[in-house]
Amino acid sequence: MLARVLSAAVNGVDAYPIEVEVNSGFGESLVVIVGLPDAAVKESRDRVTTAMSNSGFKFPLGRTTINLAPADVRKEGPSFDLPIAVAMLAASEQFETDQLDNFAMIGELALTGAVRSVKGALAIALQARAEGRTGLLVPPENAAEAAVVQGINVIPVENLREAVSFLEGEIRLAPTKVNLDNIFDQPLEEDIDFSEVKGQESVKRALEIAAAGGHNVIMLC
């Protein structure tokens, strides 16, 4: 069976959509990941299968092919663990839901099935909202960051079992809410400033000009 789960990756400060496609079929029991994955993504195979087993799910029988689309863009980091696991469970018919097109998801999986924090939650939430998704499943540590984006439900999930139960409709999870007014009203507390930097006058002046004009800066040593 073929299943598709929506996710996203970060390039710089922007995010772009990633589709996690999983097909479970006949043949020897083997998991293959394609779509230009880096070493961390390739290692997802072992993290995901162990997390599935420790969460009470079965290892899919037969050949399981995981495609991260678009295939011509390199995929980095462990943030695809959760969507890969959910797609594998759906493809192997271990749960049923009609919500996979409504939610994007990100998260690294511990071997216990717990969902760990990842980078780029804010940018990915913006991308998910732009695509018209109902919500975004994220690690609890990333929920407040992603919830800054209004117009999308940010759902924190503690573990793989909880994510599946939510998608099945067996449990209800409240979306994370943040008060933007309270965030912006908080005074900034700067521990260090340029007065503590000795010398480097030309560098400090360049940074000040860039900050004042809202320009980008790259510093090379």
Report residue 88 as tokens: 């594998």
**CA angle at residue 160 from 159 to 166, to 5 degrees?**
95
CA distance 138 to 144: 10
Structural domains of the chain sorted by starting position, each given as residue range(s) with its CATH number in brackets: 2-182 (3.30.230.10)
Q: Tokens 């479970």 sit at which residue?
A: 24
Tell me, yes or no, if the pTM score tops 0.75: yes
Q: Please tell me the predicted confidence (pLDDT) of residue 221.
A: 67
Percent of the chain clearing pLDDT 90 (strictly above): 73
Please report which confidence band the pLDDT of residue 181 belongs to, taking 50, 70 and 90 as the band edges. Answer: confident
pLDDT of residue 184: 74
Given a cut of 80, whether residue 189 has pLDDT beyond it is no
CA-wise closest residue to 113 among 144, 86, 77: 86
Report pLDDT digits (tens) over 17-57.
Answer: 999 999 998 888 899 999 999 998 999 999 999 999 999 99
User: Whole-number mean pLDDT of the chain?
Assistant: 92
- Determine the straight-line distance between the first and last CA of the chain, rounded to whole angstroms: 52
